[in-house]
Structure 1
Amino acid sequence: MTTKAASRAAAQVAAAGWAVTGEARLGRLQAVAFVGGAQGGTSGSCLLTQGNLALFDGTRLLAIAYAEPGARATIGGIEQLASDAIRL
């Protein structure tokens, strides 16, 4: 499931052609989860492909995490657990 970009960092990701699947704060950093594609599945589910997690300081990209090509699972959404904790 994709979501509308709320932060400037997520807007940058969306402007580059990726689909934002979630956002969260991690201390002073902005975390943005995004995917390259989504396909409809059974029972209203979505199969997300090319999942990534980007960490930004403001609008400056610091790091990108992703699943290895061919991995059985990919990064989907993100959930804020606490001010310094997220769940992918």
Structure 2
Amino acid sequence: MDSLPFLRERDVAVLGNDGVQDVQPSGYGPDLTRPVHTAGLVALGLWLIDNMELTELAAVCRDEPRWEFFFAALPSRMVGVTSSASNPVGVF
């Protein structure tokens, strides 16, 4: 949660991780178990991508060697939901 001001100052729009963004337990008490999800989604409008498989991407970046690329991830269009599967794509 302490990183959220850092992300806001840089206008970060998407945060992806090969796990989840929140530490368990959060350290913010029993009522705030996932503060990055709670504050990031609501206060910052941050898109969160949990459980990304980054092994192949890391290998390609190492082999290129390039660490910058275009990234697109379009979620399924659904009404009344808070999450969706997506098919993220990196283009070098």
Q: Which of the pair has more CA radius of gyration? A: 2
Superposition TM-score tier, normalisation by shorter sequence:
under 0.3
Higher strand share: 1
Query: Which structure's residues are more often helix, by fraction?
Result: 2
TM-score, with length taken from structure 2:
0.25
